[in-house]
Amino acid sequence: MHGKCTAPATTPAPTPQPGHSFPLGATPHQGGVNFSIFARRCTRVELCLFDHVDDARPARVVDLAPHRHRNYHYWHAFLPGVAPGQLYGWRVHGPFEPAAGLRFDPDKLLLDPYARCIARPAGRDRDAAARPGDNAAVAIKGVVVDVGAYDWGDDQPPRRPFTKTVIYEMHVGAFTRHPNSGVAEHRRGTFAGLIEKIPYLADLGVSAVELLPVFAFDEQAAPAGRRNVWGYQPLAFFAPHPAYASCADAPGVLDEFRDMVKALHRAGIEVILDVVYNHTAEGGHDGPTLSWRGLANDTYYLLDADRSRYADYSGCGNTLNANESVVRRMILDSLRYWVSEMHVDGFRFDLASILARDQQGQPLARPPILWDIESDPVLSNVKLIAEAWDAAGLYQVGHFAGDSWTEWNGRFRDDARAFLRGEGGRVGALAARLVGSPDVFAHEQREAEQSINFVTCHDGFTLNDLVSYDAKHNEANGEDNRDGANDNRSWNCGAEGPSDDAQVEALRNRQVKNFLALTLLAVGTPMLLMGDEVRRTQRGNNNAYCIDDETIWFDWSLLTRHADVHRFVKRLIALRMARELPLERAEMTLNELLGRQPLEWHGVRLQAPDWGHDSHSLALTVPLAAHRLRLHLMVNAYWEPLVFELPPPGVPQGAWRRCLDTALAPPQDLCPWAEAATVDGATYAVQPRSLAVLIARATEGGP
């Protein structure tokens, strides 16, 4: 007798238990996983479990009962039998009343803001989250992971003080994406690829890498047909960006990031993350509902007077309500996580002045979130760097809240650029930038290294382009060259773009070295942009956030083409770290020496600095009596040679040695002190648009 063919019986899923509201996110425990999420003013919450990232329907839906699975506005459940690797998302029901600030949409699968890893479907569609209808098949899902399942071994953070820090700002993807990087194809543009290039960073001499955003970000938040590459469109504040891993599985993404941190630490290099806590990838009122908007829109965001619209101080369509208690907790939890579980050494806060705004958008004298961050015991030993402005015009450089924050010094960038391109009225400003910008920071009674000195960063021209273009060339971005800054204070040295003119090229090379020398010799904390040490170009694009090709990739052939500039940077960092100076105490750096000594200002004549509008020259003498040394710097931004009077060496039997002169051909442009030529006479001719450094020691050839 033949019976009907039936499907095998399935074992019913264990009954969900109430679980706990803390910790937020998905937390594995023995026998299951606890899920918790904050959702305010909603009526119903569903936890959706998926078998595959591309599934349009969840394999299981857990309907959370308010009387059993909610405390305050926290919805939670413990699911027996669920394990790491599980894909999940949330559906939240409630009123869709934009005029009241409410945007609940149960058709949208929401990403857990506390997800430690994410999974992206092959057909992921950002726009589907902005259109009516179910988007589960093309939505990003969270992945349950056990963050404790990693062996850190004997990893120790370098804990390097700012006085001994040289920062290298870099993009993880662009650093090794070029085919000539020497990195295997599947590891190009990944954390693993960066690991292979750590010897290069160590040889260069930098002590910290500042990584453009590595939190998971929305690559589709870009003009049509392009990708967001820089990463300033965050999707999750706890999850590393999956495209930066050479492996596909979720735990592997975490492990690869931590492998990178551990390897950098072994090389003595700190890891600073560029973090974006000022806005999210959900954009403006017509943007997608990805996470926060569908959970508690009026809690997570600053809303405009018309509550259907968002206050936009970020220039990206929305602004996080950073000083609201729940958002403050999320930011702090995220920072603690990256320090405690991922071992990072510091953070650079994008548009940090937004974090100083209250719920009406007004600047606060004592912003709670900023004081929370710097007073938190977990964060007390990490580097905190603020980009102390925002897109709505709030500029707080020198006035940023808190005691332990350092700040990107935009005035260093602007004044150095203006002076070296020959603008008038800039000599006094340059003098202040060289000695730690006391006009900006001294009133706060902080150390000079509070100033992060830079002339280029990811946002704007590269150093090569700063001396090669008078105007931006952003046509490739698809916005008719309207995007990007118009005020670049650049100068093309006589020809727009690439040039075969030997004189133009020589001048550009000299200007590049001038900028590098000012950045690395000035008192403060220097920051270099990835590739400036080999004159990397972006072809005049000063806003290449949506370009992912050789325009932004590090071209490793430039190590040969511009070997002289690369060597110059290495030697400059060595000079700054005083590795080859005849010091009495070798642990002192040039930054520490210059920042603690009386200064003598000069012009082309001794004791007669010219602070006038038409002055383009400056000289500075620093006596280092405790080390029997004397340093003399001369800067000539004029278009003709200038003869500078020299002060006496100031030490018995001493003589000046020329350690640096950007007008000279390598290797004479920058020499170790022991190999530097002696300077005879009472004057020194500094060539047009160049600078020179002389150093004298008490007894030539002495111990």
Residue of 218, 324, 350, 532 with catalytic role: 350
**What does DSSP say about strands 141-143 and 167-170: parallel, antiparallel, or unpaired?**
unpaired
The position carrying tokens 């080859």 is: 580
- Using CA atoms of 120, 125, 127, 131 in order, give the dihedral in degrees to the nearest 10: -100
Q: Is 382 left (phi over 0), alpha (psi -120 to 50) or beta?
A: beta
User: Which residues, in sequence order, are CB contacts of 500 under 8 Å at separation 6+?
Assistant: none
**Rounded alpha-carbon distances, angstroms, from residue 503 to 417, 494, 498, 500, 616:** 21, 9, 13, 9, 21
Length of the chain: 703
Residue of 218, 255, 345, 387 with catalytic role: 387
**Token couple for 283:** 């954009």
The position carrying tokens 């403060």 is: 524
Instruction: Name the burial class of residue 304, with classes exposed (0-12), middle (13-18) and buried (19+) by CB atoms within 10 angstroms of its CB.
Output: middle
Which phi and psi (to 5°) does residue 63 adopt?
A: -90, 115
In whole angstroms, give the CA distance from residue 266 to residue 143: 30
The one-letter amino acid at 177: R
Which phi and psi (to 5°) does residue 528 adopt?
A: -110, 145
Instruction: Provide the strand spans (E) within 227-375.
Output: 270-275, 346-349
Q: How far is Cα of residue 291 from the mean position of the Cα atoms in its chain?
A: 24
The position carrying tokens 């040679």 is: 641
In whole angstroms, give the CA distance from residue 72 to residue 49: 24
Which phi and psi (to 5°) does residue 526 adopt?
A: -80, 145
387 tagged catalytic: yes
The position carrying tokens 């290797």 is: 667
How many other C-beta atoms are found inside a 10 Å radius of the C-beta of residue 317? 19
> Catalytic residue numbers?
350, 387
